[in-house]
Amino acid sequence: YHIGTKGRSVVFVKTGASTAGSLGTPDESEFSGTGTVTFANAPADDFEIVVEFLSGATFDGTGSPDADVSYRESLDGGRTFSGTKTYATTDTEITIADSGGVTLAIDTGTTVAGDKVSVRATALNFNATEIGDAIAAMGESAIQWDLAEVVGPLDGSLYDAVETAFAALEGKAWIGQFRTPDEGETEAQYLTAFSTALGAKADTSAHIVAGAAEITSSVSLRKYRRSPVVTVASLAGSVTEEVDLADVNLGALTGVSIRDANGNPKHHDELINPGLDDARAIVLRTFDGAQGVYVNNPNTFSANGSDFELLQHRRVMNRAKRALRGYFTRRLSKPIAVNASTGFILESEALEIEAGANAILRGVLLAKPKASAATVTLSRDDNLLSTKTLTG
């Protein structure tokens, strides 16, 4: 998505995926035949699989029809269908293309032209060890980066694993996702599930996206139902640190829908169903009088009362930390004059170090305004003779 819509590069770090994908309960509400439909095998991704039969037949119990059956299939809920395919008399099942191997078979009974059957597929996912190993590998990379997207739904345990792994990385922030709503789950039930799973968590480097959206794939051009996390992370990766992702002047998100073709609410819209924003989730919204879909607030998943309320607060501070780390690294092991009696740094030394640090800060934060002010102040009462440590 980021490559296709922004033309920017992305560094991928693959995780293990011990948690297998799964299939939900088939929906046969538009299936009038008497055959028993079975979907099987773990999917490769999140899909809304639909199979529409264009002709009918009778199945003999082995999975084979008595006449070739024409059908078409979709991975995005019927928004994009394949061309016409054939369930032949020699077949005992059909494989849904690009699904990772999901099959459909029909036991004894009939299909009728126009019948449809569908099933929701849930992608495979990492476990705590696998995502921790991937984040550690990112931290060891020589590539410079400041923001990572964790691709895969997080429950409380997986959140803890990600938070712990990022705690070891200095000057980094991350965007993750809660699961998308289950079939039939109400807005109130989803908010309760989110709060139950993550409500007690807090981290000034974390940002959690909730809800769902229909997002056009830059590869297949299908319009998949997905977590909005990819659109939020892509927008963040295309602007400088100080920019608020909720700024409507950035434009609507590319290829993203949260309403149906008639303009009615379909997926979470904070304008229509407020609540997840108050729970510190990043969600999408529409605006009266404005076309398109926008980020509501780029909330940081920090504790109430924290100075780090929004993603830009974390990113600007991290930018300052990375710049100052480089400056102070070059100051390591250089002599510092101290008061012989107290061990405190001499004022002239402190002023010289502060002047260099503040020049660095002015360059990264104030040349193009990313903050109202930026100042480094060193401690004047650290006993350097005994602690060998200077704080600020």
Report pLDDT digits (tens) over 176-219: 999 999 999 999 999 999 999 999 999 999 999 999 999 999 99
Round to whole Å and give the CA distance between 175 and 247: 18
> If we measure between CA atoms, which residue out of 262, 247, 260, 261 comes closest to residue 294?
247
What is the CATH architecture assignment of 2-16+127-295? 3-Layer(aba) Sandwich (3.40)
Q: Is 32 left (phi over 0), alpha (psi -120 to 50) or beta?
A: alpha
Round to whole Å and give the CA distance between 259 and 292: 10
Residues of the chain with CATH 3.40.50: 2-16+127-295
Round to whole Å and give the CA distance between 233 and 231: 6
> If we measure between CA atoms, which residue out of 189, 197, 202 comes closest to residue 157?
197
The pTM for the full model equals 0.93
Neighbours of 326 (CB within 10 A): 10
Neighbours of 224 (CB within 10 A): 19
- Using the CB atoms, write b or e for 10-33: b if 16+ within 10 Å: eeeeebeeebebebeebbbeebeb
> If we measure between CA atoms, which residue out of 295, 280, 216 comes closest to residue 250?
295
Round to whole Å and give the CA distance between 309 and 66: 64
The two structure tokens encoding residue 76? 């995005």
Residues of the chain with pLDDT under 50: none
